[in-house]
A and B are shown apart, each in its own frame.
Chain A
Amino acid sequence: MPFLHRNDSPASISCTLTVLASADALYEFCQDPTHLAQSVAAAIDINIQDPSHLHWKIPAKDHGKILLEGDAELVEDVPAKVLTWRGDSALLEARLEFTPAPGDFGTEVRLSVHLDPGVHAAAKVAKTFSAAPEIAVSKVLRHIKSLVESGEMPTLAHNPDARKRRHTSEEARL
């Protein structure tokens, strides 16, 4: 379970999770911006400009309108220890730290996200992430963990049920 910590500043969210991989392997995985893009794809579109620069957009789930966007630059890169991206707008900073876990557990990964307080403060954030921002941050960590450990992220996409068909037929009746 990602352990979650809210700093005194309401705009900071920190979350940690243990991944069964070495710090070297995790650092290498997270350094690749395509993996980063995959880990956040459920909520954020990332356009990789070069390995150190990316542009991100958060579209609204229902109508596709861009709610937030900005640029981010890799500003700290310590092999097997830290990766930090710094942004110029709503996302002020995202930092990944890798610490060897005891025994055979692998590596503890901490993701700390600092948002513009004005963005974080309101319901806009809940709307932006379609969930509490803490859950959105922990989900990114879970996605990294799943990709590293199992090669894919668990998903319910195209999961069959009787709801959609029922709603469709109800709409047809209307």
Chain B
Amino acid sequence: MRALCWNGVNDLRVETVPDPTIVNPHDVILRVTMSTTCGSDLHFIDGYIPTMREGDILGHEFMGEIVETGAAVKKVKVGDRVVVPSFICCCGCWYCKHNLFSLCDNTNPNAELQEPMLGYHTAGAYGASHAFGGYAGAHAQYVRVPHADQDCFKVPEGLRDEQVIFLSDAVPTGFMGADFCSIKPGDTVAVWGSGGVGLMAQQSARLLGAERVIAIDRFPERLQMASEKAGSETIDYSEVDSVVEALKDMTGGRGPDACIDELGMEAHGTGIGYAYDRVK
């Protein structure tokens, strides 16, 4: 098959690689119909995340059609159109049982490689470095999906790939940010960043009961999306002296009840703080 492979910092190549095969009984093979670029892919391309190896296949936000199933797969079948989360979850360990799926204890084959860096291992993830499991990613024609009964979510008829693919990663990431805020009815939530994940966080905050959502960004088209799609009020941080003062001014001096950072690792600040970060 053909796949997008990482070969070093800023060195991506579409190469021919072996097709994936069923290895474990709960696996399926997915024909990828859509795979999208996540901000996290930039961490690998920019060289921020260690333990990548030349020839690794990138991609962890994807969906497709099941073309082969392992012997123990019961809930999904060949022909099903499914969307798959970026983290691989067994749904049998303590963390999965407590809805802490990204900490799954049983899906990272390189846990001992990751623990010295993070203190405790995460779940395995697709195309996200060897510390995160080393699984081949989904910027490819086919991908192996372990624990398919738990990790494949069937797509209802009538929905296009473009309408559901963000359920793989962008929605859960944004929702998690909002969920951490313990939002109460009437709350005002400020969200830094109005990219894909930022918009999902704004929508999620609204769904969880926020009365006001304030989006902070500097790109007019993003702020327009925040306003039109998420019903957010907006602050263009390049147009104000102080975001904090702007927030206070919009909230009777109280400031927001919760804040969500959806900027990502490659984001930059402004002024002296930004210069200090660059020096670091």
Seen from chain A, the residues whose Cβ lies within 8 Å of a Cβ on chain B are 1, 18, 20, 104-106, 135, 138-139, 142, 145-146, 149-166
Contacts and interface: CB of A to CB of B under 8 A. Distances in A.
Interface in B80-139: 90-94, 97, 105-109, 111-112, 115, 119-121, 124, 133-136
A149 B105 contact: yes
Interface residues of B, number: 48
B251 interface: no
Scoring B105, B107, B124, B133 by chain A CB atoms within 10 A of each residue's CB, the highest score goes to B105
B18 A158 contact: yes
Contact of A104 (B23, B54, B72, B94): B94
B106 A146 contact: yes
B20 A1 contact: no
B279 interface: no
Interface of B: 1, 3, 5, 7, 13, 15-21, 23-26, 53-57, 72, 90-94, 97, 105-109, 111-112, 115, 119-121, 124, 133-136, 140, 144, 146-147
Contacts of B56: 161
Contacts of A142: 111
Contact of B134 (A145, A151, A159, A162): A159
Contacts of B115: 1
A49 B93 CA distance: 33
Contact of B55 (A1, A145, A158, A162): A162
Contacts of A153: 24, 109
Contacts of B94: 18, 20, 104-106
A104 B98 CA distance: 11
A166 B15 CA distance: 10
A156 B25 CA distance: 14
Contacts of B26: 150-152
A19 to B, nearest CB: 9
Contacts of B25: 151-152
A2 B133 CA distance: 17
B17 A145 contact: no
A159 B53 contact: no
B105 A145 contact: yes
A22 to B, nearest CB: 13
B18 A165 contact: yes
B90 A160 contact: no
Contacts of B19: 160
Contacts of A146: 90, 105-106
| List of 3 A-B pairs having minimum Cβ-Cβ separation, nearest first | A162-B55, A150-B90, A163-B55
A160 B146 contact: no
B21 A158 contact: yes
Contacts of B135: 156, 159
A138 B21 contact: no
Given A154-B107, A160-B1, A163-B54, A1 B146 contact: no
A165 B17 contact: yes
Nearest to B5: A162
Nearest to B111: A142
B23 A150 contact: no
A160 B18 contact: yes
A160 B17 contact: yes
Contacts of B93: 20, 145, 149-150
A157 B23 contact: yes
A160 B108 contact: no
A154 B109 contact: yes
A157 B134 CA distance: 11
Contacts of A20: 92-94, 97
Nearest to B72: A151
Given A150-B90, A152-B24, A138 B109 contact: no
A162 B137 CA distance: 12
Contact of A154 (B21, B106, B136): B106
B18 A150 contact: no
Nearest to B123: A154
Contacts of A138: 112
Output the residue of A20, A105, A154, A156 with the most chain B CB within 10 A. A154
29 contacts: A1-B111, A20-B92, A20-B94, A106-B94, A138-B112, A139-B112, A142-B111, A146-B90, A149-B90, A149-B92, A150-B90, A150-B147, A151-B26, A151-B72, A153-B24, A154-B106, A155-B23, A156-B133, A156-B135, A159-B134, A159-B135, A159-B136, A160-B17, A160-B136, A161-B5, A161-B136, A162-B5, A162-B15, A162-B54
